[in-house]
Amino acid sequence: MSLLGLVRHMTEVERGWFQRTLAGEDAPPLYYDKNNPDGDFDDVDPARRDDDFAAFQETLDRCRAAEAAVASLDDNGAQHHRDEGPVSLRWIMVHMIEEYARHNGHADLLRECIDGATDD
């Protein structure tokens, strides 16, 4: 696990929930496939850091536009999510809060391994 891997993973999470599930866009994965399901974490190349951060920003811009196009938090996405059926923008937003909280915690653990500082 690395900070860049977390950025790449969150790029994929944003694309999955906002572009594919909410907006119904064709947004294939950037960093993984069925033969390499953890490619977002495993295939990190520090030399491509700028490209990965640019992809994250572009994804955020597209996802915020998809979110803004929905009239209500109670509106369902264009695609069903696996066995859960239709999911609302509200559900997606709450799920994304959980995702960012979880992965920000991972980032904090990585930082603590580097500098040893803890919050009392």
Tens digits of per-residue pLDDT, 75-104?
999 988 877 789 999 999 999 999 999 988
Residue 33: exposure state from Cβ atoms within 10 A (0-12, 13-18, ≥19): exposed
What pLDDT was estimated at residue 102?
94
CB 31 within 8 A of CB 39: yes
What pLDDT was estimated at residue 120?
62
Q: Which residue type sits at 31?
A: Y
pLDDT tier at 105, thresholds 50, 70, 90: confident
- Tell whether the model's pLDDT for residue 42 goes beyond 90: yes
* CA 52 to chain CA mean position, Å: 13
CB 57 within 8 A of CB 12: no
